[in-house]
């Protein structure tokens, strides 16, 4: 009897490719929460995220025979899920925006260093109010920047994995991530400055009217 839980992803893929659907069921169990979370981060809609989850695993199952184990299953699945989520996201918008539209011709240049939010979960870095500002800022990023930021700093994929998921160069990942972090940092800076100004305007604080 095969103990599917004890096998690595690559072994489960080989078993599933040989026709054992229970091996693929184990892969679904391992990745369904992660795929749903990624889809929800992109779409911000529970029903659409659930549909993307189903679409992603159905596409993965249909394409499993052609999957090459040289690539990791998780990266391959993230690529399928990301594409499915972006297709659904674009259908909700009036204007189609390609992943390449905001790609600068300077993307292959090495960006300046900006703090890496992937080193610690955002929920541990931000309080509730600030987290809402951050989430709103993420949603307002251009599609290509937002997708890279979500994969890299929220989901914790490496630069190389994000490059493989989106089929772009590592340098392009770094450039887009750099611009996303700059945009979010500026947004948070404005938020904290406005918050400080509101506090300073409150009546009755020490030093006011003296």
- What tokens appear for 4 in the block? 């599917």
Task: List all residues 6 or more positions away from 90 whose beta carbon is below 8 Å from its beta carbon.
Answer: 96, 97, 143
Q: Report all structural domains of the chain as residue ranges with CATH numbers, in order of start.
A: 4-91 (1.10.1740.10), 117-201 (1.10.10.10)
CA dihedral 31, 37, 39, 44 (to 10 degrees): 170
Contact, 24 vs 12, CB < 8 A?
yes
pLDDT tens digit at each of 210 positions of the chain = 789 999 999 999 999 999 999 999 999 999 999 999 999 999 999 999 999 999 999 999 999 999 987 789 999 999 999 999 999 998 877 444 444 344 444 555 444 444 454 444 455 445 677 778 888 899 999 999 999 999 999 999 999 999 999 999 999 999 999 999 999 988 888 888 887 787 777 665 555 554
Q: Model pTM?
A: 0.74
């Amino acid at each position: 009897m095969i103990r599917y839980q004890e096998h690595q992803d690559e072994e489960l893929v080989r078993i599933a490719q040989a026709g054992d659907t229970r091996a693929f069921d184990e892969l679904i169990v391992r990745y369904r929460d992660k795929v749903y979370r990624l889809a929800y981060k992109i779409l911000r809609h529970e029903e659409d995220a659930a549909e993307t989850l189903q679409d992603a695993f159905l596409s993965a199952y249909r394409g499993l025979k052609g999957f090459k184990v040289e690539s990791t299953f998780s990266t391959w699945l993230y690529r399928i899920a990301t594409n499915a989520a972006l297709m659904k996201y674009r259908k909700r918008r009036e204007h189609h925006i390609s992943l390449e539209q905001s790609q600068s011709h300077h993307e292959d240049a090495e960006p300046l260093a900006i703090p890496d939010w992937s080193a610690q979960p955002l929920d541990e870095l931000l309080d509730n109010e600030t987290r809402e500002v951050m989430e709103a800022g993420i949603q307002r990023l251009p599609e290509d920047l937002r997708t890279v930021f979500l994969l890299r700093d929220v989901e914790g994929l490496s630069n190389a994995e994000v490059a493989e998921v989106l089929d772009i160069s590592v340098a392009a990942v770094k450039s887009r991530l750099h611009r996303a972090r700059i945009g979010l940092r500026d947004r948070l800076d404005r938020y904290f400055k406005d918050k400080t100004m509101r506090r300073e305007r409150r009546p009755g604080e020490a030093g006011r009217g003296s």
